[in-house]
Structure 1
Amino acid sequence: MSRLSLSLPLGSLLLALLSTRSPCAAPQPPLPAIDLPHSYYYRELYLPQLTSGPSSLAWAPDSRALVFSMAGSLWRQRTDSTLAEQLTDGPGYDYQPD
C-alpha cells in the first residue's frame, strides 16, 4: 500500500511537469537585418573572388595563344610556351585606404 501511495504523487508530478510548457525565448535570426540606409555597411561589403586560378578562357583569333583572367588581371599564354605574359595590371582592392 505504501508503494501505491508513493507512485501516485510521483506520477502526477511527472504528468504535471510534462504537460506544462517551459517559457522559451523566440529564436533569433542568424544575422540581424540591416535597416537601410546604412552607408557604413555598403563600404565594408564586397564580393569575394570565386576562383583562385585561371578562368574565363578565350582563344586568340590566330589560335596560337590562350587569353585568361587570373587574380584580377588578363594573361596570355602561347600554345608553344610554358610562360604566361601578364597583359593588364589592376590596382587590386581598395580596402580601407588611409
Structure 2
Amino acid sequence: MAAITITYELHPPQDTPIENLTAQKTHTSLISNTSANQKAYYEGVRQAIAQAKSTLGEELTVWRDAVGNREQTKEVKAPKKDEEEDEEEEEQEG
C-alpha cells in the first residue's frame, strides 16, 4: 500500500510553553485504492493529501497559539526602535 509521509521539526522560542506539544513529528497517510483504476488511485492520493494537510494544519495552529504574541512582540519592537532612532536623529538635526 502506498502512503504520503510528512515530517516536521519546529524550533520554537525557548520561553514557549510546550506542555503536551511535540516539536518533531512524522505523519503517514495511507493511499487507498492503490490496486484500482487510475482515477480511483488519484482520488485516494487526493484524500491522503487532504487528510495530511488537515492534521498538519491543526497541529501547527496549536503551535502558533502556544508561541502566541511572542513573535508579534518581536516584530513590533523592531519598528518602534527604528522610529525612536529616527526621532532622535530629527531632534539632533533640528
Which TM-score band (shorter chain)?
Answer: under 0.3
How does the TM-score come out when normalised to structure 2? 0.26
Q: Which structure's relative contact order is higher, taking Cα pairs within 8 Å and 6+ residues apart?
A: 2
Q: Which has the higher strand share?
A: 1
